Amino acid sequence: MKIFIDGKYYDRNEARISVFDHGLLYGDGVFEGIRIYGGKIFRLRDHIDRLYDSAKSILLDIPMSKPDMEKAVSDTVRINERSEGYIRLVVTRGKGELGLDPAQCEKPTVVIIAGDIQLYPQEYYEKGIAVVTSSSRRMPSDSLDPRIKSLNYLNNVLAKIEAKQAGCLEAVMLNHEGYVSECTADNIFLVRSGKLATPAVNCGALGGITRSAVIGIAGSLGVEVREAQLTRYDLYTAEECFMTGTGAEIMPVTKIDGRIIGEGQPGSMTRKLIYEFRKFVEAQ
């Protein structure tokens, strides 16, 4: 494996960043997780745009133009001969001194890793998974806007731990008002009366790339999609429920907090969207 760090490639065992990098010391940085399908990078331009928006929001000047960043990502995939897999693109504030002041950092650090992705077993797509509601709330927008894909993921990590302790793979996170935001690493959708609903981004949901693709696919099928304020009641009484994300793609959810969703198996809308999403990916 060859890892890109600030314009150079290093073997996995030799790839290093400073222990004084503010991404490590303070979580000061942004990232993107991107899929590779059939040698093609899925929606690279959308991911790059979101990365730069996140960086702009925290006053982090990425030391590469967007075209140069796209080329670096594509070159990293090519050099690693990846036809399928996952890209982790990270930009940190860079090496500095101890202390929060970002002005102490001379230049940001750019890291690109192209490797394997740990996929969910096929049986989960066929049977669905159970999730729980986490007691860890989503970061409020007036503290740190969740649309910024930053390295500050501790509340998500705590929610993931809570899910694992409950014997589940994922947890639903609520915002400070009690509305559904998303899962620890995925967006969430529900189906009711042939229509789709998903938490609005102002409820603390990340504007997911896969989420956006699914909304577009649903629209092309004539399915109405509503971005709204949703509560746990809406989830509990949904006819179908599923998560979307880079790793999960479209993952059926068949139980939430012990409540069976619909008939306790992936519904017709979910199965249709899984099928159409895979066709969509192949056509990219």
Q: How far apart are the first and last CA of the chain?
A: 26
Catalytic residues: 149
What per-residue string of b and e applies to 121-141 under the rule 16 or more CB within 10 Å gives b?
eeebbeebbbbbbbebbbbeb
Euclidean distance between CA atoms 278 and 270, whole angstroms: 12
Euclidean distance between CA atoms 105 and 129, whole angstroms: 44
Q: In Å, what is the CA distance from 178 to each residue of 138, 147, 206? A: 10, 18, 17
Identify the burial level of 213 via C-beta atoms within 10 angstroms of its C-beta, where 0-12 means exposed, 13-18 middle and 19 or more buried: buried
Euclidean distance between CA atoms 281 and 244, whole angstroms: 14
Q: For residue 34, give the H/E element and its range.
A: strand 29-37
Tokens describing residue 182 = 């998303």
Task: Please answer whether residues 252 and 242 qualify as being in contact, where contact means their C-beta atoms are separated by less than 8 angstroms.
Answer: yes
- Least Cα distance to 214 among 172, 192, 186 occurs for 186
- Least Cα distance to 168 among 118, 119, 130, 136 occurs for 130
Pairing status of strand 129-133 against strand 249-256 = parallel
